[in-house]
Amino acid sequence: MMRLRQFLKNTAKSGLSILIISPLIYGCSSSTSPTYIKENIEQSIQDICRNEYRLDVKARLTGSTLWVYIPIEDIFVKSDKPEKYLERFTIETNKEELKDGVLKLEYLVKPIPEEYKFQDYRYNKAAIEKMNNVWKVLRRVIFSMDRKKAQEPKFFVLVTADIKNGFEIEELFYYLDLKKVSYEFISWGEYQHRSIQDMNIAQEIIQDKEGTHLKYEDITFDDFICRQIQHRIRLKFQKPEVAKGADIDKEILKAVIYTVKTYGFDNFSAVELRNLLTKNNVILNRAAVRARFIE
């Protein structure tokens, strides 16, 4: 148990293993009339999971954000063939916020000597099957909903909780991103970059079958953009996706520009980058940021 706990702490910090699973997406429904409406979406998801897959999940719609809580046990098991991964950077600070029209980034990313390490645990096949079954139900309901503007949930949060070992995997995604990958407008690799995954370790998760420990919130588009940038920075430096000796400030700015451009986000007047390691501060107004879209 102690080794699993240490693995979970490292995983939560690095964001490595939680990026392995992709939802199973099947052909899109050809139905032209909505099967589900906003008022019955919570109960519909719970009923389908229980009746077709014998899974007791909890769904809650908060504003335009749908939360689905999946309580299971033993998400990870000891691996017979530990997976090797490379460490090239360490992230000590990675904060983003949108305040008074300024998109502020504060980060401390350190290059470290390259070193290969091994993950001693892997996903439990039984857990993967349960998670994918919930994904199938969620996708089925989402694509059969009344898509009128007033009825449309914009964001979805799936929380898979290991109620035996006290940790959970949270995945936040935007409806249009799921739609685009389903119709092959974007690749699976791009979808995994857009789907924001994180891990939480807490005592209150243990034996919480109802998801009472969660703080259900309505995700705003501003929140999503900040989390999206944070997520892409983690991938850049902890997967890692950038080469040794990379210009960290430049790579951070690339993450900002790509996110803003991808989502057509313009609810900001400036971007402020603060490198806590070098003490370098950069401020770009919105016009300067948009000018870099073609780079």
Average pLDDT, the chain: 88
| Shared domain check, 153 and 70 | yes
Instruction: Give me the number of domains the chain comprises.
Output: 2
Q: How confident is the model over 68-87, as a mean pLDDT?
A: 93
The yes-or-no verdict on residue 162 having pLDDT over 80 is yes
pLDDT of residue 1: 59
The answer as to whether 80 is a domain residue is no
- Give pLDDT, residue 4: 64
**Residue-level pLDDT at 24:** 47
Which whole-number Å values give the CA distances from 236 to 49, 124, 173, 186, 273, in the listed order? Answer: 35, 27, 19, 19, 16
Boundary of a domain, candidates 219, 238, 264: 219
Task: Please tell me whether residues 154 and 69 are part of one structural domain.
Answer: yes
> For residue 19, what pLDDT is reported?
41
Residues 141 and 259 in one domain: no
pTM score of the predicted model: 0.89
222-246 pLDDT, tens digit per residue, is: 999 999 999 999 999 998 999 999 9
Same-domain pairing of 54 and 139: yes
139 and 1 within one domain? yes
Domain that holds residue 41: 1-75+124-219
CA distances 139 to 34, 52, 60, 136, 292, Å, are 14, 15, 16, 5, 36
Encode pLDDT of 109-145 as tens digits.
999 999 999 888 899 999 999 999 999 999 888 888 8
Q: Closest by alpha carbon to 91, among 120, 114, 118, 112?
A: 112
Both 165 and 244 in a single domain?
A: no
Rg of the chain over all Cα atoms, to the nearest angstrom: 20
DSSP state of 215: -
> Is the same domain home to 65 and 97?
no
- Among 184, 219, 254, give the residue marking a domain's end: 219
Q: Quick one: pLDDT band at residue 6, thresholds 50, 70, 90?
A: low
CB-based contact 139:25 (threshold 8 Å): yes
Q: Can you give the pLDDT at residue 293?
A: 81
Residues 98 and 128 in one domain: no
- 131 Cβ contact partners less than 8 Å away, ≥ 6 residues apart: 21, 70, 72, 160
pLDDT (tens digit per residue) in 255-267: 999 999 999 999 9
Would residue 81 count as lying in a domain?
A: no
Residues 94 and 213 in one domain: no
> Where a domain ends, among 219, 239, 273?
219
